[in-house]
Structure 1
């Protein structure tokens, strides 16, 4: 297992785009790893008494040890990056970055600061969505709609045409922009960089699985995408900007602000991937597979994991992929894995997942072209608890939470 990267020179370089190729240090770079959606705010663990917990939404902050261990796991897998919803989507409950409009919560920045810093320590990059299409514990577009006076919830109003006001109503759009500015202008005490400045966050995504009133309709106005793209690039000009529409919307292809297009795959499908790449053939921009169900379907050649990976690996336009979704131990409890209830929980170190994790690892190493690690070797162990020497407290602060 390779050691965490501590040379800051490369880490200070931004990831850039040259046509459909993504570069780091003037060399082609692949963004491969996993979705770790809970890095900023979790819903899967009930913390010890006295720790912050919002029971109605099962929300809590992940421990520093859980965050550090997942960085070590991504490194062991041969990954180069993480996509994480709650590093950017955190609105509407008392533990959020914005519990209410324009009211920042300093405590909510603590796990995010640590996650960004630990990614930097391990030489990993981060892709951060700004909003969620849904109405989950970490908030999303319905939260902003309610704040602006639209009494909507996804369980009742998913098909209500008024959900489009998230994109169209100036009050909602300006509220969303102020939230983005709160996020990107925050100074991380571990790095002394704002999130806008820190190249560890290499890409900002409009949102997660964005659509309109009908699921999968891709009804995200092009002008909204362009407007948010201009706003983000005004604050963070060196970030790559990702269209987070759920699917490739042809009307967005000429949006100059968009650097990367993406889609999600449940189940994986080589045929669907080919169709997406055909749609993108007319533009010189890369394609990112933001989520896919890593379990695959061995009974279907179109949906088997090895066939899926072969299709990805042969395409020069696919800049990378992140599986859904990765968990480790419930640190400081090293005897228990964290569970999630969607059927796609990958737990590194769980013998039940070892065979497929090895297939995943071989793919990530092949994509990253990291010659320092062997794709055919046994899965390397990841320590629990993780090494605390890889983390320091920011100046003037003393950590009190369990590692």
Structure 2
């Protein structure tokens, strides 16, 4: 419920908002990338985003806790910006607190390694390790955001904490951690990090009695309607909320997306979150990510565009709304011109771009050399008719519904 109104949502996982992996190691994402991704999510109808690295960040130099008991204020500042940016886009966040897997942001194995334990399953039972994890949780929840002065445990932008990502934790551990979190934070919902994967037996069933837990989840690789409906019913029977915390939006296996999304809409589930959204790059094009699940708006291929359109319609349908006309929040920015090649930083919501050229100076007159013929997938764009001598360029973007952005900066090229 949001006030007296049932709250339903669809949105993306944007796992890298606090820290991203790059070819050269980890890095904090630029403010532009964070803003662009969240603006894109909002354009697609999202009101909730799930983000691992706002809560899972241990064991690396740029992590929140790089070494046991040592905390990194710069990492927390990166999270601060993402949380405040989400607020400006009217997006709420679900934040997992530990990972089951060995990924760049650390996980449960990090805590056991710190204590010299080779069996990472001891994360769930070793008293010292559990104490270390609780101390980490306390730092996260009690941290005060530098941008708004609000402690995370009091910030309404955060919808829910999640005990972890894709855990297989004993119910005793879930009870202990859930009690600890709710003892620190009485304002937020709590998601059980034990989850159901496709058609396997749900490992959250033994947790349904835990009063401190509010939400249960499943992850669907591939989308599996029968399993989803079973788990919704299991949570509903316990008077608990259920969400699809992750699913593969880009597969031809399992149940088709065109069937899975209506099944979610017609169920008692509160929401769903696809995996995963990536933004425009800082210079031109999109941030590349060599993974089957990578989504760029409005789509790199005709098939992706069709599926992105379906996800957008679905997100608004979960809110009981039609898809509105898309408005562009910002103009593109030309970042470089080299010979006939023009690079610009794209803008959230843009589908195509028009390129204009002037020969006399920065104030024109302007001639259109590309009428909505460029996209973020074919930048750097080549002006094959560029004459010799100095020229000036400007660019504007168009949404799928034809809304036009303001012009970019004027870029001189000698």
Using the size of structure 2 for normalisation, the TM-score is: 0.76
Does the CA contact (< 8 Å) of 1:267 and 1:303 recur in 2? Answer: yes
2:112 maps to 145
2:63 maps to 96
Deviation at 1:251, TM superposition (A): 1.1
1:195 maps to 152
Greater RCO structure (CA 8 Å; 6+ sep): 1
Determine whether 1:304 maps to 2:271: no
Deviation at 1:381, TM superposition (A): 4.9
CA distance in 1, matches of 2:133, 2:81: 24
Q: 1:362 aligns with which of 294, 297, 313?
A: 313
1:250 maps to 205
Three-state SS of the structure 1 residue aligned to 2:244 is: strand
CA distance in 1, matches of 2:299, 2:228: 30
Deviation at 1:351, TM superposition (A): 4.0
- Structure 1 stretch 306-315 or stretch 25-34: which is displaced more? 25-34
After superposition, the C-alpha distances for 1:297-338 in whole angstroms (9 at most, x for unaligned) are: 2xx6x510010011101112x01000000001112x1x2211
After superposition, the C-alpha distances for 1:136-164 in whole angstroms (9 at most, x for unaligned) are: 1100000001012213xxxxxxxxxx332
Does the CA contact (< 8 Å) of 1:80 and 1:368 recur in 2? Answer: no
Q: Which runs of 5+ in 1 are unaligned?
A: 1-22, 47-54, 152-161, 212-219, 388-403
What is the alpha-carbon root mean square deviation over aligned residues? 1.9
Q: 1:60 aligns with which of 8, 27, 33?
A: 27
Give the structure with the larger strand fraction: 2
Does the CA contact (< 8 Å) of 2:160 and 2:188 recur in 1? Answer: yes
After superposition, the C-alpha distances for 1:218-248 in whole angstroms (9 at most, x for unaligned) are: xx11111111111111111111000011323
Q: 2:86 aligns with which of 102, 119, 127?
A: 119
2:44 maps to 77
Deviation at 1:181, TM superposition (A): 0.5
Does the CA contact (< 8 Å) of 2:229 and 2:267 recur in 1? Answer: no
Deviation at 1:73, TM superposition (A): 0.3
Determine whether 1:276 maps to 2:231: yes
Determine whether 1:330 maps to 2:281: yes
Deviation at 1:202, TM superposition (A): 1.2
2:359 maps to none
Using the size of structure 1 for normalisation, the TM-score is: 0.78
Q: 2:161 aligns with which of 204, 207, 212?
A: 204
Give the structure with the larger helix fraction: 1
Deviation at 1:101, TM superposition (A): 1.0
Runs (4+) of structure 1 exceeding 3 A deviation are 379-387
| Superposition pairs of residues 216-295 of structure 1, within 5 angstroms | 220-247=169-196, 248=202, 249-295=204-250
CA distance in 2, matches of 1:81, 1:204: 13
CA distance in 2, matches of 1:80, 1:312: 16
Q: Which runs of 5+ in 2 are unaligned?
A: 197-201, 333-344, 348-414
Three-state SS of the structure 1 residue aligned to 2:93 is: strand
Does the CA contact (< 8 Å) of 1:69 and 1:382 recur in 2? Answer: no
Residues paired across the two proteins, number: 327
CA distance in 2, matches of 1:351, 1:345: 10
Larger radius of gyration: 2
